[in-house]
Amino acid sequence: MPIVYEAGLSVPTAESAYLESLGLGWNGNRDHYDKYWKSFLQHWSKEGYVNRRMGHPDQIQGDMQVSCEIAVGPYGWDDLNNSDIHEKVVNSALKWRLLLQIDSEEEKTGIMWGDVGRIYFWVHEDDLTDLCFERVVCEMHVAKLTVKH
């Protein structure tokens, strides 16, 4: 089956290091946050399967840029409790780029990541510039299921 590429707009989600660094994330200025989402929400939410090369992820849970930085950097998750280190990690996390996002498409490919999840491959911008893919970080996120009684 051939791969078909379509140009599209992707925007950072509320949990991204990009928005946090601009003060537009969960803990930022609520008025600015609301304006951002009013402007871009129509571009963020996608129906169906979302596979992507580059751009911003359609993430299922949590920010992955920070977790990539934690995976290869000198700090651990507990270090984020220190506000100075937290800021340093977030600023360093901004250099991580989505390389590839692959959705579960069991009907087409026979592949399901976890429980209807997605896998994401991230590369540091310096490594991408050098075409060095030895430190690519892979994350798998699964959908959160809600059961109603």
Strands 118-124 and 52-53: what pairing?
A: unpaired
Mean pLDDT by 10 residues, the chain (149 residues): 69 74 70 76 62 78 84 89 88 91 74 73 95 91 51
pLDDT at 67: 87
Asked if 102 and 118 touch (Cβ cutoff 8 Å), the reply is yes
Residue-wise DSSP of 27-50: TS-HHHHHHHHHHHHHHH---S--
pTM over 0.85: no
Picking from 130, 109, 67, the residue whose alpha carbon sits closest to that of residue 57 is 67
Burial of 104 (0-12, 13-18, 19+ CB in 10 A): buried
Distance separating alpha carbons of residues 66 and 64, to the nearest angstrom: 5
Distance separating alpha carbons of residues 69 and 96, to the nearest angstrom: 8
Sheet with 96-103: list strands edge to edge: 52-53, 96-103, 118-124, 137-141
pLDDT at 43: 58
Sign of CA dihedral 29, 31, 34, 35: negative
Q: Where are the domains of the chain?
A: 49-141
- Give the dihedral of Cα atoms 61, 66, 70, 71; nearest 10 deg: 60
pLDDT at 127: 95
